[in-house]
Amino acid sequence: MLGLDKKDTRLLIIVALLMLLGPFILNPFPEGSSMAQMFNAGYPDLMQRFVIFGILVIGFNILFGLTGYLSFGHAAFLGVGSYAAVWMFKLLGMNIIPALLLSMVVSGIFALAIGYVSLRRSGIYFSILTLAFAQMSYNLAYSVLGNPASNYNLTNGETGLQLTLNDARILGESVTADGSIPVTNFFGIAMRDSLEWDVGGWLFTFNAGYYVSGIIMLIAFYISIRIFRSPFGMMLRAVKSNQQRMNYTGLNTRPYTLAAFVISGIYAGLAGGLLSSMDPLAGAERMHWTASGEIVIMAILGGVGTLIGPILGAGFNEYFKNILSKINESVLSQWLSFMPDGLEDAIIGFLYFFVGKGWQLSLGILFMVVIIFLPGGLVQGGQKLRQLFSRKKPTDDADKTTQSTPAE
């Protein structure tokens, strides 16, 4: 189907089902219960981040997973795509398609310029170069190109670029009938529109923006499969395996690595455009080095070089970030109310280092556990579980056949 073999088709169908059934999967507990307040994640903002960051890490995996080139500055393309989308909303109209196209084009050109310079080096030197370019981009967006007093205020500095009532849109109204700023839409379907379904105590929310982003993620995932299975993808794997030997044969590998870098940057720009489509605000913090580090973490969590790993890693990271940050002292007090007061206070004081404002510590520990015990990420964990449950005892006949067969 669609030029894919059975295994890849099955994988595409699994991802499509996960996306379509997201509102049900992410709301396992009845609405209003204490478990739902902590573990349900089926609300639009978070579901949108699942699929958008899935797109981002899928693109990053094409670079890192196939070529082995580790970029520490990939968030620069995410930020550039966000700014490009908001400018399109300010100048042209609120339809997200032109904004996404501009985000991809601008990010691709930006990636071409950075990649042309950075790919002159490999290994840690390449990583440091991308980090330097990303930090320069962050500082440009935060101060140099974001000075409201200058004539070239493109980013609006620390406040961030956002829509105003004074924006003159060529293909759309600047102000709605009630005097508010128009909302982003997909050919008339507002991205914030949601349909709620209350059944048996469960509340499921079906958001238009989530499904539009989810369909785009499926297209991005399909393209990544075709890249992985193509001769171009095999060439990138050869670069990762032994680039020096390929150079000795007279083959110039730079066009291939540069193409992978640009494709990866376009994916990041698309993700940035979608973030601005959900919330038309672009800030320099999306270009900070910590954001680039989070992309690397999501890729490693899922499984570098695997197809579905980036989606799993992005979902794992965003889900646990949301859960751990919601656990505060009052929640811990409810959970530990059966304990004596002194012991309860001591345990709450200790646990609060790992939840609430300290959620990064818990996420870091989870990341360390995955790296130590599952270096192949969550995909490797799934493979080990499948092998564990599918393991069968050999029959006596099979043993006899094995013993009587000479070793090759």
State residue 397's pLDDT score. 47
Give the pair of three-digit tokens for residue 93.
């109209």
Span 156-165, average pLDDT: 86
Q: Which tens digits make up the pLDDT trace of 173-186?
A: 777 777 788 899 99
Q: Check whether 15 has a pLDDT greater than 90.
A: yes
- Sort 6 into a burial class: Cβ within 10 Å, 0-12 / 13-18 / 19+: exposed
Domain residue spans of the chain: 37-192+208-287
Q: Using one digit for the tens of pLDDT, what is the confidence trace for 189-245?
A: 999 999 999 888 888 999 999 999 999 999 999 999 999 999 999 999 999 988 888
Give alpha helix (H) positions in 92-230.
96-118, 123-142, 208-229
pLDDT value at residue 151? 67
pLDDT band at 406 (very low <50, low <70, confident <90, very high): very low
pLDDT at 340: 85
Task: Give, in degrees to the nearest 5, the angle at Cα 219 between 213 and 223.
Answer: 140
Mean pLDDT of the chain: 88
Q: What is the pLDDT of residue 20?
A: 94
Q: What pLDDT score was predicted for residue 129?
A: 95
**Among 48-52, 228-232, 375-379, whose mean pLDDT is lowest?**
375-379
Interval 123-133 mean pLDDT = 94
Q: Which of 346, 264, 315 is nearest to 78 (CA)?
A: 264
pLDDT tens digit sequence for 251-289? 888 999 999 999 999 999 999 999 999 999 898 999 988
